[in-house]
C-alpha cells in the first residue's frame, strides 16, 4: 500500500538508517525525516496558500485524513483507500506524493493522467525526477525559498521543508495556472524547451 502524500514518513529512530529521532525541542527539517519506505507515518500537510493559489482541484488522490483543516480538492481519497489505483477520470488533480522512493511512481501516474499539478522535492538529478518531470511534465515552478508544511491540526511546522520544492504541471491547464499563480518562483514551460514528450 502506498504511503499517503501528506505523510513524510520517519524511521522511528532506527540506528541502522543513520537518521536518528530528534531530541525534544530539536529543530529538524522535513527532509531529515523522509524515509517513506521505513517506519511509521508522520503527517504533514501542504501549506494552504499553495492550494489557494493553484486551485481549485477536482481530486486529491493522496489526501490527509479527516478531520483535515482545509480541503485540497473537491474529492479526497484517503487511506485505507488506494488513491494511486483509483479511477481519476477527467479530474484536474492535486498530488503531493510521498517524498521518497514512491515519488517517481506517483509522478509517472500524474504524467499518464496528464491533467494536474504535483508537489515534490526539486531533486533534479534523480532518475524519478528525470523520467517523471524533465521527460514528461508540461511545466515546472521552482518555488523560491522553502515552504513550511503544517501539522494535522493546521498549525505550521517550526522547520521548513529542508529541501527545495517544485510544483510540476501536467497539461495546459496546469501550465496556465503555474504561470499566473503568483507564488514566488521560477516558471519553465518544458514544452518550449523541448523537454516534455
CA distance 181 to 185: 10
Rounded Cα distance between 110 and 88, Å, is 10
pLDDT at 148: 82
Q: Report residue 46 as a C-alpha cell.
A: 501542504
Mean pLDDT of 144-166: 82
Measured CA to CA in angstroms, residue 147 lies from 31, 33, 107 at distances of 12, 16, 20
Give the list of residues 6+ apart from residue 47 with CB closer than 8 angstroms, or none: 147, 148, 149, 150, 156
Q: Is the pLDDT of residue 113 over 50?
A: yes
In this prediction, residue 138 has a pLDDT band, given cuts at 50, 70 and 90, of very high
What is the sign, positive or negative, of the torsion defined by CA atoms of 90, 67, 168, 99? negative
Are the CB atoms for 36 and 7 separated by under 8 Å?
yes
pTM given for the model: 0.77
Under the banding of pLDDT at 50, 70 and 90, the label for residue 197 is very low
The model's confidence at residue 160, banded by pLDDT at 50, 70 and 90, is: low
Distance CA 10, CA 35 (A): 5
Lowest mean pLDDT among 39-53, 104-118, 180-194: 39-53
pLDDT over 90 at 57, yes or no: yes
- More confidently predicted of 29 and 149: 149
Amino acid at each position: 500500500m502506498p504511503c499517503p502524500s501528506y505523510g513524510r514518513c520517519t524511521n522511528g529512530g532506527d540506528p541502522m538508517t543513520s537518521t536518528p529521532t530528534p531530541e525534544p525541542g530539536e529543530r529538524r527539517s522535513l527532509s531529515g525525516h523522509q524515509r517513506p519506505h521505513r517506519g511509521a507515518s508522520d503527517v504533514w500537510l501542504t501549506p494552504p496558500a499553495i492550494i489557494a493559489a493553484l486551485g481549485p482541484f477536482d481530486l486529491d488522490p493522496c489526501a490527509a485524513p479527516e478531520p483535515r483543516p482545509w480541503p485540497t480538492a473537491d474529492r479526497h481519497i484517503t487511506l485505507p483507500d488506494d488513491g494511486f489505483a483509483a479511477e481519476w477520470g477527467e479530474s484536474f488533480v492535486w498530488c503531493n506524493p510521498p517524498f521518497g522512493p514512491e515519488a517517481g511512481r506517483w509522478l509517472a501516474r500524474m504524467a499518464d493522467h496528464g491533467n494536474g499539478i504535483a508537489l515534490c522535492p526539486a531533486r533534479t538529478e534523480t532518475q524519478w525526477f528525470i523520467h517523471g518531470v524533465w521527460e514528461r511534465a508540461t511545466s515546472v515552478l521552482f518555488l523560491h525559498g522553502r515552504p513550511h508544511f503544517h501539522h494535522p491540526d493546521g498549525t505550521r511546522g517550526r522547520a521548513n521543508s529542508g529541501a527545495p520544492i517544485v510544483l510540476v504541471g501536467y497539461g495546459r491547464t496546469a501550465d496556465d495556472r503555474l504561470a499566473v499563480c503568483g507564488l514566488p518562483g521560477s516558471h519553465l514551460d518544458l514544452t518550449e524547451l523541448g523537454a516534455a514528450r
